[in-house]
């Protein structure tokens, strides 16, 4: 079959071109700030350092008192604005540096912010050091320490897991729960200001989890430790109980600046609200279109409702993208425009280019990987690019399996970000591979450890028993020793014998056929273990196990497949050193989530098909039941799809120069369509139905504008935003939509004339 070709439009698209983003006005403070203005000295100094702010950035930096939200689009220079505004407060308004608090989400971001501030004009080293700048956790840890809290910080994940494993062993639960899942549940409740003692215990599983976590909390207290979630929850409790402490903090921090506001969780927001009172000089910067960490506690309603929580808030739009070309920004604009629950805004670009994004439609993920890697290799050979220019983005880790392996096979230097284990080492995958290993070698003790839990046996006790029996009575099949475990139930013995027969049956079969037989038993175990069901969604299980089959189908026998897996794991270990060198010339392979905040010359977005992006879990969100507390959402599917669309938007806006979007036509052996996010972007705009009253009213407005010599048509559109428009022809009333909940309404009463107001797009002019 001929290899798929790269085109400038996706198949099944209604049109073959994407609207380019508008080129932004390039005026900066050089033209915008006159020498006779009171703050000109500050901007002249910035300009001398090469920092020239555009008009939206200038307005945001000049904001002085009261609450403000800066909606900073992708690549719009938000860090520059935050740093420049801090300097402006100190240099122009003579605010004492100690009264400025700057909050970020990562140590890296905090370090970059401090570096930016240290170069600002008029700020001495002492002034820079007096500014309180850091992550939420670092700032509030200092507050706890100031109150005599001498606990050490528990930062090593493995240590947390060890404590939980010991507790579960003492409770006779073995490894029934994955420690990562328990930590995630605990974190979720604490981030919603709910302590373990307040967790629900309605069902047996909830009671069991609560008991485990209560013991975990007691263990931490016993050894004098706290984790990151404790920092925020305990700080919140301290400030609630200690008015004097809260007053002291408020008197210290008069101006609060927060970065990445879209990632804020409830407890962080409550802490900020407490500190910002009574002046509410709160300056937050974020982009609701990049809210992609809701699974990690971020609450999108916090950024969407900010104007409602703080009436009179000034809103600044950073709509000029300095990162990507007009075509890439145009595609991103079109993709995200289909989300309803957002601030309406459109990015402009500064990089004019005739190059269009490329689209490709391979048959499978393996063909996708081959074509993409071949394209990268060709660019390298022709001297067009270096390896470091390329980044491959994916939605889920299991989907990256094919491209990961192709990079290894072609011996292309690359690094992965996040969990550095291979696909075959994942907790869901390893037991299946261990069945294959044990089929070839019945004395493989490491493989036995992976198989035993699927027989409903305690791993540690069973393996210990098997080792003792093997020492006194050696056999060619270690698993048979388990039949002699005292007090073993008859069904468990039958399961062991049946599994031994299965292993003997599959050893000479092709890997794909063998795995299908293993899956039948393995999925029974996963589906009947209620404790396992809190760890992973069923769809994720299906997707991961199907990916094993896809991989295995390429091999004729099990030894060949296992040898390949060993090679992949070995080569991946050798990549560890490369990951430590940020300057290494390597291709980057990462999830879309990991790519947030980064930018790359060339981006390949793989798996841009239905059931992958958007993920099937989003398409079936309505039927999901989560053990952990979640906010009430009226339409789970729509909300989940909007979250997936934000992921697509983030992925596209990582590309600086070139963007390749790949949409395989098969996934898990089934036909799939090109992602709706891509097809929508190439669709013709739909006609909007209007009522007679709306038509008459607009005609009246048009006549009025024709008589106005300052008609907006002669001015530059600054933004288009969604709001409420009165239907009464003689009424001029219009208001912004002020909250997440308000967006869901069809109509509201007009406060001016009492008539009806409906949603309408309002163009704001300059």
Nearest-angstrom CA–CA distance, 654 and 155:
30
Mean pLDDT of 454-461: 87
Residue 145, both tokens: 């320490």
Second-level CATH architecture of 156-226: Orthogonal Bundle (1.10)
pLDDT tens for residues 431-444? 999 999 999 999 99
pLDDT tens for residues 143-202? 999 999 999 999 888 889 889 989 998 998 877 788 888 998 999 999 999 999 999 988
Nearest-angstrom CA–CA distance, 466 and 478:
7
- Residue 241 CB burial class (10 angstroms; 0-12, 13-18, ≥19): exposed
Mean pLDDT of 655-666: 97
Helices 401-409 and 365-381: crossing angle in degrees, nearest 10, is 40
- Give span(s): CATH 3.40.50.300, the chain: 29-147+242-318
Return the CATH superfamily for domain 29-147+242-318: P-loop containing nucleotide triphosphate hydrolases (3.40.50.300)
Does residue 242 surpass a pLDDT of 90? Answer: yes
Does residue 657 surpass a pLDDT of 80? Answer: yes
Q: What is the pLDDT of residue 720?
A: 43
* Stronger pLDDT, 317 or 694, i.e. the higher one: 317
609: Cβ–Cβ under 8 A, 6 or more apart, which residues? 663, 664, 665, 667, 672, 673, 674, 675
Nearest-angstrom CA–CA distance, 165 and 188:
20
Q: What is the pLDDT of residue 760?
A: 64
Residue 235, both tokens: 């700080």
Q: What is the pLDDT of residue 492?
A: 86
Of the ranges 82-86, 147-151, 527-531, 680-684, which one carries the lowest mean pLDDT score? 527-531
Q: How many CA atoms lie within 13 A of 604 on its CB side?
A: 26
SS3 230: helix
For residue 726, list its beta bridge partners. 757
Residue 348, both tokens: 């402009």
On whether the CB atoms of residues 395 and 607 are closer than 8 A, the answer is yes
- Give span(s): CATH 1.10.486, the chain: 425-563
Residue 79, both tokens: 């860090």
Q: What is the pLDDT of residue 765?
A: 43
The 3-state secondary structure of 659-671 reads EEEECCCEECCEE
Does the structural domain 425-563 have CATH classification 1.10.486?
yes
Does residue 627 surpass a pLDDT of 60? Answer: no
On whether the CB atoms of residues 650 and 290 are closer than 8 A, the answer is yes
Nearest-angstrom CA–CA distance, 430 and 423:
9
On whether the CB atoms of residues 429 and 518 are closer than 8 A, the answer is no
Residue owning tokens 């957002």: 342
For residue 318, cis peptide bond before it (omega within 30 degrees of 0):
no
Number of H helices, E strands in the chain: 33, 22
Ramachandran quadrant class, 435 (left: phi over 0; alpha: psi -120 to 50; beta: rest): alpha
145: Cβ–Cβ under 8 A, 6 or more apart, which residues? none
Percent over 90 (pLDDT), the chain: 61
Nearest-angstrom CA–CA distance, 759 and 420:
47
* Stronger pLDDT, 570 or 714, i.e. the higher one: 570
Residue 527, both tokens: 């589906």
Ramachandran quadrant class, 463 (left: phi over 0; alpha: psi -120 to 50; beta: rest): alpha
Residue owning tokens 């507050």: 143
Of the ranges 82-96, 117-131, 136-150, 619-633, which one carries the lowest mean pLDDT score? 619-633
Share the mean pLDDT of the chain: 86
Does residue 747 surpass a pLDDT of 80? Answer: no
Does residue 614 surpass a pLDDT of 50? Answer: yes
Nearest-angstrom CA–CA distance, 80 and 331:
25
Nearest-angstrom CA–CA distance, 755 and 727:
7
On whether the CB atoms of residues 125 and 156 are closer than 8 A, the answer is no
- Give span(s): CATH 1.10.10, the chain: 156-226
Does residue 578 surpass a pLDDT of 60? Answer: yes
């Amino acid at each position: 079959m001929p290899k798929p070709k790269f085109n400038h439009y996706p198949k099944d698209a209604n049109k073959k071109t994407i609207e380019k983003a508008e080129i932004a006005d390039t005026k900066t403070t050089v033209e915008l700030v006159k020498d006779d203005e009171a703050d000109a000295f500050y901007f002249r100094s910035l300009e001398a350092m090469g920092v020239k702010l555009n008009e939206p950035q200038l307005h945001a930096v000049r904001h002085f008192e009261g609450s403000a939200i800066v909606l900073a689009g992708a690549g719009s220079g938000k860090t520059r604005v935050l740093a420049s505004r801090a300097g402006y407060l100190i240099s122009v308004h003579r605010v004492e540096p100690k009264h400025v608090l700057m909050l970020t989400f990562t140590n890296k971001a905090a370090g970059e912010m401090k570096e930016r501030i240290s170069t600002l004009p008029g700020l001495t080293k002492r002034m820079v050091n007096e500014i309180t700048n850091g992550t939420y956790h670092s700032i509030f840890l200092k507050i706890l320490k100031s109150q005599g809290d001498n606990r050490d910080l528990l930062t090593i994940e493995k240590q947390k897991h060890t404590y939980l494993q010991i507790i579960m062993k003492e409770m006779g639960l073995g490894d029934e729960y994955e420690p990562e899942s328990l930590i995630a549940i605990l974190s979720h409740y604490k981030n919603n200001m709910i302590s373990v003692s307040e967790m629900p215990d309605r069902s047996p599983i909830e009671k069991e989890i609560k008991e485990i976590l209560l013991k975990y909390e007691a263990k931490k207290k016993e050894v004098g430790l706290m984790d990151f979630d404790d920092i925020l929850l305990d700080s919140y409790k301290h400030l609630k109980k200690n008015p004097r402490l809260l007053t002291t903090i408020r008197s210290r921090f008069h101006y609060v600046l927060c970065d990445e506001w879209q990632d804020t969780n409830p407890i962080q927001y409550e802490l900020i609200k407490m500190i910002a009172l009574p002046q509410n000089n709160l300056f937050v910067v974020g982009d609701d279109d990049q809210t992609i960490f809701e699974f990690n506690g971020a609450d999108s309603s916090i950024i969407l409702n900010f104007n409602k929580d703080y009436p009179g808030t000034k809103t600044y739009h950073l709509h000029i993208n300095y990162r990507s070309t007009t075509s890439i920004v145009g595609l991103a604009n079109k993709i995200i425009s289909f989300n309803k629950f957002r601030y309406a805004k459109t990015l402009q670009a500064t990089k004019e280019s005739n190059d269009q994004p490329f689209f490709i439609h391979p048959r499978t993920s393996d063909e996708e990987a081959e074509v993409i890697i071949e394209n990268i290799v060709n660019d390298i050979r022709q001297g067009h690019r270096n390896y470091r220019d390329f980044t491959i983005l994916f939605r889920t880790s299991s989907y990256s399996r094919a491209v990961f392996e192709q990079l290894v096979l072609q011996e292309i230097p690359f690094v992965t970000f996040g969990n550095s284990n291979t696909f075959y080492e994942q907790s869901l995958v390893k037991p299946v591979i261990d069945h294959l290993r044990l089929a070839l070698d019945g004395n493989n003790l490491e493989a036995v450890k992976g198989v035993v839990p699927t027989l409903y046996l305690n791993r540690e006790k069973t393996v210990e028993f098997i080792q003792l029996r093997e020492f006194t009575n050696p056999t060619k099949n270690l698993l048979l020793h388990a039949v002699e475990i005292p007090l073993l139930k008859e069904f468990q013995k039958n399961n062991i014998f049946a599994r031994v027969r299965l292993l003997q049956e599959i050893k000479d079969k092709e890997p794909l056929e063998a795995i299908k037989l293993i899956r039948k038993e393995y999925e029974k175990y996963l589906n009947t273990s209620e404790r396992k069901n809190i760890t992973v969604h069923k769809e994720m299980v299906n997707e991961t196990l199907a990916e094993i089959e896809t991989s295995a189908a390429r091999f004729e026998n099990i030894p060949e497949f296992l040898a390949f897996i060993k090679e992949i794991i070995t080569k991946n270990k050798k990549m560890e050193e490369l990951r430590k060198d940020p300057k290494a010339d390597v291709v980057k392979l990462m999830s879309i989530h990991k790519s947030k905040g980064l930018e790359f010359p060339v981006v390949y977005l793989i798996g841009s098909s239905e059931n992958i992006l958007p993920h099937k879990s989003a398409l079936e969100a309505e039927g999901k039941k989560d053990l952990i507390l979640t906010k009430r959402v009226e339409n789970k599917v729509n909300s989940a799809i909007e979250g997936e669309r934000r992921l697509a938007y983030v992925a596209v806006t990582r590309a600086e120069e070139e963007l390749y979007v790949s949409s395989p036509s098969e996934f898990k052996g089934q036909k799939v369509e090109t992602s709706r996010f891509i097809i929508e972007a190439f669709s013709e705009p739909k006609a909007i139905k209007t009522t007679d009253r709306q038509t008459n009213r607009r005609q009246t407005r048009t006549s009025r504008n024709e008589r106005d010599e300052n008609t907006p048509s002669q001015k530059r559109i600054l933004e288009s935003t969604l709001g409420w428009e009165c239907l009464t022809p003689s009424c001029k009333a219009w208001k912004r939509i002020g909250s997440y909940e308000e967006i869901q309404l069809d109509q509201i009463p007009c406060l001016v004339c009492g008539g009806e107001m409906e949603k309408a797009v309002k163009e704001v002019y300059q």
